[in-house]
Amino acid sequence: MIDPRTLVPSLQDLRTEVFDELSRYRGLPLLVWTDDDGVEHTYVERRFVPGPEALSAAGVVAVNDQDRLDNIAAVQFGEATLWWRIADANRALQPDELTQRLGRRLLITFAEGTPAPRR
């Protein structure tokens, strides 16, 4: 009989490759915590939202009727899964709140550490 655990790569082999290249968790290490019963729990190290100095403004968009962050991200970045970049740039703890008020202006930024182009 084959032990199915032998078919899965170890956490050391996976490291951060378990996250898509566009994921906000990409590059964060996986950690393991062992509880009092000896059961191991894998989790992702805490992610800190980048500070304002790490984000260069690319522009501003106004929220329209029935806008969602994923739709705005699709238009602004060409990729809906990058909605979290808008949430980061606008310091949102509750990302859905960013689109609840029509006309709200949302900051759109370049990726963390990317300087704004010179004009």
Residue ranges per structural domain of the chain: 1-47, 52-109
**pLDDT digits over 56-84, tens only?**
999 999 999 999 999 999 999 999 999 99
Q: CB–CB of 79/62 below 8 Å?
A: no
Q: Please, are residues 108 and 76 in contact by the beta-carbon 8 Å criterion?
A: yes
* CA 88, chain centre distance (Å): 8
Beta strand pairing call for 40-44 and 105-109: unpaired
What is the pTM for the complete model shown?
A: 0.75
DSSP state of 24: T
Helix (H) or strand (E) holding 57: strand 57-62
